[in-house]
Structure 1
């Protein structure tokens, strides 16, 4: 992000502008009655920038990729590790595609919730698990402190923003970033588990038979060395002969399916030419 601001669609003049230049109001996450559908929830979540990646998602993004995976499983009952799953919309899709044929499904992301402080001026400040403010939302603007970084912006660009951010307090209310329907499924079905997980850290849970990595191993977010590091973590985590599904959703849905081999990964199949990092995965 070159500029640490976005226009909040809820305020003037953004409400008069095309939707492509203004963004949904994340403050609605504090008012569940305004979240009228899974798509609206995903829209609000997608404006969050966490760990250098946006939580961009929506239901139905991976239909062809999920079909590729389900076909390769040949009615096996897998343990699925879904990394970078954002709000879990696409995890819900794959759970539905698998039906009852899975042993466990781990829905993971670096952050599954945030602490939020709202004030009487209509502002909301979102904090991650480390106490860092990741987003300050006003009725007109969205401000990303991490994107502002240490660069010396002109005073008119950041007029008092950093000083206006309240210090973190662990007593601030917690807001879930996970789809309500998925949270309900996880409460009812012990096989579905929601866990924070960073792809650059080793997986400490049961060995999965499938790792799904959708729209996270992205050169726009990470260097090739970082992507290799994450892929090696997946290799170490996977059970022997386990599967790695890597998906890109930009202009079109592209995916590559790999099998864990003794020394790395072997390519099984791809759709629409495969992920742009296919050769990188094979070189791990």
Structure 2
């Protein structure tokens, strides 16, 4: 993560060691081919403004971008796009945006002070030393080197800090994708419903929400659903498998449509 020119695969592996904001920055290449196809096959994405929330290092965002028609913009959004790193001897302490020490990495071992009181005690002196030198911290961008190269060459692709529990600020996107973030593993049902309400309010009338979850369970393939905003509710457009929180979407007044699998015709954004 400290090397801006790191191998993309090695960067993804390192990212999976970051636990921040109550979630793990798990990422990998080739995670969403079926769910990407669900979106591309069912929604007209020509000149679409797309927001990808909770996109981790952006690897899966880049794979979707490569499959899109001529889109208008693609924003990779995450609450934690950067960490601050301070070297203390042979160890490096990583702080999140709130100033919490989330990872201590050394030549042989790594520890997560925010997850364990015991680990916090073991590394307390290291973290104290890092706080003394926090003014000299380096900013670590948590975006894959491949993604940063695309952002540098394509002005349509950018990144932005965003909290999924808050409405999107600025022009409302045509499509919002949220993958592997709104999980019962991380949040209560009440919290998830609050996030879904913010997502609904972030979309224009006729805009689309796509939820994806990769359970990482044996014999459990990726699951996804696409819903269109209609007033204060969501109407289901397509789904792949049984999305984990589809029942919570219904609590916002979602109406399940006739489409339960990928359909042959694309749905226009203005429909």
Aligned to 1:81: 51
Aligned to 1:225: 190
Secondary structure class of the residue paired with 1:77: coil
CA contact 2:12–2:27 (8 Å) conserved in 1 = yes
Aligned to 2:235: 266
Structure-to-structure mapping, 1:25-36, within 5 angstroms: 29-32=1-4, 35-36=6-7
For normalisation by structure 1, the TM-score amounts to: 0.81
Secondary structure class of the residue paired with 1:97: coil
Aligned to 1:283: 251
Pair 1:247–1:241, CA change in 2 (3 A): same
- Match status 1:243 vs 2:213: no
Secondary structure class of the residue paired with 1:135: strand
For normalisation by structure 2, the TM-score amounts to: 0.85
* 1:118 aligned residue (71, 87, 110): 87
Q: Which runs of 5+ in 2 are unaligned?
A: 253-271
Q: Distance in 2 between matches of 1:75 and 1:30?
A: 35
Aligned to 1:234: 199
Pair 1:159–1:76, CA change in 2 (3 A): closer
C-alpha displacement of 1:182: 1.3
Secondary structure class of the residue paired with 1:185: helix
Give CA deviations for 1:121-167 in whole Å, capped at 9, x if unaligned: x2110011222211111223222122125xxx5xxx65542232121
Q: Which runs of 5+ in 1 are unaligned?
A: 1-28
* 1:68 aligned residue (38, 45, 48): 38
Q: Distance in 2 between matches of 1:59 and 1:134?
A: 24
Aligned to 2:265: none
C-alpha displacement of 1:206: 1.5
Pair 1:158–1:213, CA change in 2 (3 A): closer
Q: Distance in 2 between matches of 1:32 and 1:220?
A: 31
What is the Cα-based RMSD across aligned positions, in Å?
1.7
CA contact 2:200–2:232 (8 Å) conserved in 1 = no
* 1:95 aligned residue (58, 61, 65): 65
Q: After TM superposition, which residue ranges in structure 1, 4 or more long, deviate above 6 angstroms?
A: none
* 1:178 aligned residue (143, 153, 167): 143
Q: Distance in 1 between matches of 2:56 and 2:250?
A: 26
Pair 1:77–1:31, CA change in 2 (3 A): closer
Q: Distance in 1 between matches of 2:135 and 2:193?
A: 35
Q: Distance in 2 between matches of 1:45 and 1:147?
A: 17
Aligned to 2:97: 129
Q: Distance in 2 between matches of 1:177 and 1:125?
A: 15
C-alpha displacement of 1:216: 0.3
CA contact 1:267–1:282 (8 Å) conserved in 2 = no
Give CA deviations for 1:177-231 in whole Å, capped at 9, x if unaligned: 1011211221222211111111112211320110100000100000111111111
Aligned length: 245
